[in-house]
């Protein structure tokens, strides 16, 4: 079985912060891979290139199928990107979601009430905003049941310790055998709690590191 996500020499086309050889690694279905590195080293841009939001050189495959053979809207439904700073386009939170039992359960799991769907976006605290943006990504309906990769950019950066643990517990439930998570974190303990593999930026190269401190 091919890896769910595979990168070969992937790099942003414009002013890439990566070493010229780009990023090459695989993410297997059912696993979480954590990425760490200093501020400005290129972590977010790497996720954005995988998500097809920045022009890039190199090659990406999803389930053995090359990105350039998959229409962009379909790619973005299967490679779901959750940015560190979320974008919202309507005033009411609920207008960004499709109601479902899964959503109600997920809200509860991260400590938010069902009424959060009625809240207005401008009133959200940064932690509420971050959890809701994550739920929006995680509960996107899947039309074809195909495997998905979730690209999560510092998904708990705005959260208190208790909310962080709640979100981590939710993330573990996302990992069906056909899905995978590729996440950026600044916390090694979080990587150790969640990830199967850790990749660290070192002078523009991604280097595998042990998860134990
Ligand atoms: N569109 C762009 N074109 C050129 N350079 C960019 C672009 N967007 C960001 N950069 C630069 O690329 C570098 C990497 O940015 P990136 O956002 O990937 O960093 P990061 O590792 O995620 O940092 P942090 O941990 O602070 O979020 C930074 O120096 C940034 O200023």
- Mean per-residue pLDDT for 90-109? 93
- Identify the pLDDT of residue 160: 94
Residue 98 alpha carbon to ligand 1 centre in Å = 32
pLDDT class of 42 with cuts at 50, 70, 90: very high
Question: How many other C-beta atoms can be found within 10 angstroms of the C-beta atom of residue 192?
Answer: 14
Which ligand 1 atom lies nearest to the CA of residue 42?
18
Instruction: Return the minimum-mean-pLDDT range out of 26-30, 140-144, 176-180, 207-211.
Output: 140-144
15 lines ligand 1 (CB under 6 A): yes
Query: pLDDT digits over 44-65, tens only?
Result: 999 999 999 999 999 999 999 9
Q: What is the pTM of this model?
A: 0.95
Q: Which of 42, 182, 200, 204 to mutate to test the pocket of ligand 1 (most atoms within 8 A of CB)?
A: 42
- Identify the pLDDT of residue 147: 86
Query: pLDDT digits over 120-166, tens only?
Result: 999 999 999 999 999 999 988 776 777 899 999 999 998 999 999 99
The CATH number given to 5-211 is: 3.40.50.300
- Mean per-residue pLDDT for 8-33? 95
Hey, CA dihedral for 107, 112, 117, 122, is it positive or negative?
Answer: negative
- Identify the pLDDT of residue 84: 93
**CA pair distance 38, 40, nearest whole angstrom:** 6
pLDDT at 80 over 70: yes
Q: What is the DSSP string of 184-204?
A: E-S-HHHHHHH-SEEEEEETT
pLDDT at 189 over 90: yes
- Identify the pLDDT of residue 8: 97
55 lines ligand 1 (CB under 6 A): no
**CA pair distance 63, 15, nearest whole angstrom:** 29
Hey, CA dihedral for 56, 50, 62, 31, is it positive or negative?
Answer: positive
Residue minimizing CA distance to atom 4 of ligand 1: 15
pLDDT at 213 over 70: no
pLDDT class of 92 with cuts at 50, 70, 90: very high
- Mean per-residue pLDDT for 174-190? 92
- Identify the pLDDT of residue 1: 80
- Identify the pLDDT of residue 178: 86
Residue 18 alpha carbon to ligand 1 centre in Å = 11
- Work out the mean pLDDT of the chain and round it to a whole number: 93
- Identify the pLDDT of residue 104: 92
């Amino acid at each position: 079985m091919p890896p769910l996500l595979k990168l070969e020499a992937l790099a942003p086309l414009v002013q890439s912060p990566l070493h010229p050889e780009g990023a090459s690694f695989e993410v297997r279905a059912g696993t979480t891979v954590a990425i760490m590195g200093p501020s400005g080293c290129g972590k977010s841009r790497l996720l954005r290139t995988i998500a097809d939001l920045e022009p890039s050189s190199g090659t990406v495959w999803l389930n053995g199928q090359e990105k350039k053979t998959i229409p962009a809207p379909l790619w973005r439904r299967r490679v779901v990107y959750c940015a560190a700073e979320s974008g919202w386009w309507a005033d009411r939170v609920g207008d960004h979601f499709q109601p479902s039992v899964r959503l109600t359960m997920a809200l509860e799991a991260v400590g938010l009430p069902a009424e959060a769907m009625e809240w207005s976006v401008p009133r959200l605290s940064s932690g509420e905003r971050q959890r809701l943006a994550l739920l929006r990504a995680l509960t996107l309906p899947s039309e074809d049941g195909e495997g998905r990769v979730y690209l999560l950019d510092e998904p708990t950066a705005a959260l208190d310790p208790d909310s962080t643990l709640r979100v981590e517990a939710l993330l573990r439930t996302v990992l069906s055998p056909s899905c995978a998570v590729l996440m950026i974190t600044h916390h090694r303990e979080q990587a150790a709690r969640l990830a199967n593999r850790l990749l660290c930026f070192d002078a523009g190269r991604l280097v595998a590191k042990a998860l134990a401190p």
